[in-house]
Amino acid sequence: MPLYLNDDQQMLHDSAAEFMKGEAPVAHLREFRDKQCKDGFSHALWKQFAEMGFTGIMIGEDEGGLGLGHIEAGVVLEEIGRNLTPSPFLTTAVAGVEALNAGGKALRDKYFPGILAGETVLGLAIDEGAKHRPDQIGMAATREGNGFKLDGKKQFVVQGGSADMLIVAARTSGAAGDDKGLTLFAVDANAAGVSRDSARLVDSAMAAHVQFDGVTVDADAVIGEVDDGDTVLRRLLNAGRAGAAAETLGVGAGSMDITVDYIKGRSQFGELIGSFQALQHRISHLYSEMEIARAAVLKAQQMLDEGSSKADLMVSVAKAKAGKATSLSVKEGVQMHGGVGMTDEYDIGLYMKRDRALQEFMGDVNYHTNLVAEMHGY
């Protein structure tokens, strides 16, 4: 398969680009930030996502979705990134759906209709500390009667405050650090014993600390197999990481574009600053980094869609490379904007903030660099 978008994917790209730019440009983020929206995103927009078919991209055709893959999800995510569109798309329609795709039909029947309609929001309760360490999950799920009792804390549950269901990774056996013994659960966010404490993040998204105090769930809340949650978690993480890489790429590309436009129009010392070689070389280097990141992200998505055994490696490469390139893009962006780059009025700072949040989502550059070393056996 060639490493560029085919005609159908290009059409999806065009409609996603038009949609985000028209319905949810950066001004939309500002509006919801400034009115201190408690959910951090527009439910009406989420419905529009559904009308566009976006929420069903990764849901099978026989279940009412489009039956598409990671490349198509990435096409939408890149435009979300480019416009800094706030939405639960990545956590719900990409990572959440991918986890449910690995589970039983009953759970899919329960949640997919709401997702397809743009009514249901999922939260991902994975991280337990400030840094992403899924191999260190310690939250307990003990057997009780027909089901399980959950106790513990999760954090950085993005849009967890407005979620209808939380996908919770917990231990049914073993201890933190063990390879086996994880189980994933679909937990009603309003169940007794669940308490959620949301905070606004630097990029204006809302993320929750979630406390589970003796939350009881039935056996049918298990996604996949008991003690073998690793299989489902891996799918969830791969989808989330590749998706986050695609959104990050959009942030970096958007940031680069506005910076190029800015230096083409801003004069100093009687000349357009874009004519200065000191800036030209740096932004051309940035262009090159973004192109490399773009290829890495597309390759990772393609390998996931093909079910390649080496997809994990390329997903980490993509998350790390997109993170590095986009961090460079937002830093150079603020610097090249000069003083106005520090003002809230200009958009470049918003790109810097979204990049920072995406960096921490599902593993930062260092985390994935370490994973690459481990996967290569050193």
Partner 1 sequence: MSDLETFRAETAAWLEANCPPEMREPMTGEEDAVWGGRNATFKPGQKEWLDIMAAKGWTVPDWPKEYGGGGLSRAEAKILGQEMARLKCRSPLSSFGIWMLGPALLHFGTEAQKKHFLPPIARGEIRWCQGYSEPGSGSDLASLQTSAVDKGDHFLINGQKIWTSYADKADWIFCLTRTDKNEKHKGISFMLFDMTSEGVSTKPIVLISGQSAFCETFFDDVKVPKEYGEGVSSVVYEVNKGWDVAKYLLGHERSMISGGGSEGATSLGAKFADQVGRDEMGRLDDPMLRAQMAEMDIEVLAFRAMAERFGDTFKAGLCHPAQPNMMKYAGTEINKRRHELIMSAGGSEVLEWESDATNGGMTARSWLRTKANSIEGGTSEVMLNVISKQILRLPGA
Residues of this chain that interact with partner 1 (CB under 8 A) are 2-4, 260, 263-264, 272, 274-275, 277, 280-281, 283-285, 287-289, 291-296, 298-299, 313-314, 316-318, 320-321, 368-370, 372-373, 376-378
d(CA 370, CA 362): 14
**Of 252 and 274, which has the nearer Cβ to partner 1?**
274
Asked if residues 354 and 323 have their Cβ atoms less than 8 Å apart, the reply is: no
Asked if residues 66 and 129 have their Cβ atoms less than 8 Å apart, the reply is: no
36: DSSP letter: T
Amino acid at position 302, single letter: Q
User: In which element (H, E) is residue 123 found?
Assistant: strand 122-125
2 by DSSP, 3-state: which? coil
**Of 165 and 322, which has the nearer Cβ to partner 1?**
322
Shortest Å distance, C-beta 16 to partner 1: 19
**Of 36 and 277, which has the nearer Cβ to partner 1?**
277
d(CA 80, CA 101): 23
**Of 276 and 346, which has the nearer Cβ to partner 1?**
276
**Of 190 and 370, which has the nearer Cβ to partner 1?**
370
Shortest Å distance, C-beta 86 to partner 1: 29
**Of 52 and 260, which has the nearer Cβ to partner 1?**
260
d(CA 116, CA 374): 38
Shortest Å distance, C-beta 272 to partner 1: 5
**Of 187 and 297, which has the nearer Cβ to partner 1?**
297
Shortest Å distance, C-beta 363 to partner 1: 13
> Cα angle vertex 222, ends 178, 144, to 5°?
85
Asked if residues 304 and 239 have their Cβ atoms less than 8 Å apart, the reply is: yes
Shortest Å distance, C-beta 307 to partner 1: 18
Asked if residues 339 and 306 have their Cβ atoms less than 8 Å apart, the reply is: no
**Of 30 and 266, which has the nearer Cβ to partner 1?**
266
Shortest Å distance, C-beta 239 to partner 1: 19
Shortest Å distance, C-beta 90 to partner 1: 21
257-295 as b/e: b if 16+ CB within 10 A: ebbbebbeeeeeeeeebbeeeebeeebeebeebbeebbe
Place of tokens 């899924």: 134
d(CA 238, CA 179): 17
Shortest Å distance, C-beta 371 to partner 1: 9
Among the listed residues 130, 89, 43, 106, the one whose alpha carbon sits nearest the alpha carbon of residue 247: 89
Among the listed residues 199, 216, 213, 91, the one whose alpha carbon sits nearest the alpha carbon of residue 153: 213
Amino acid at position 141, single letter: A
Shortest Å distance, C-beta 83 to partner 1: 21
**Of 207 and 371, which has the nearer Cβ to partner 1?**
371
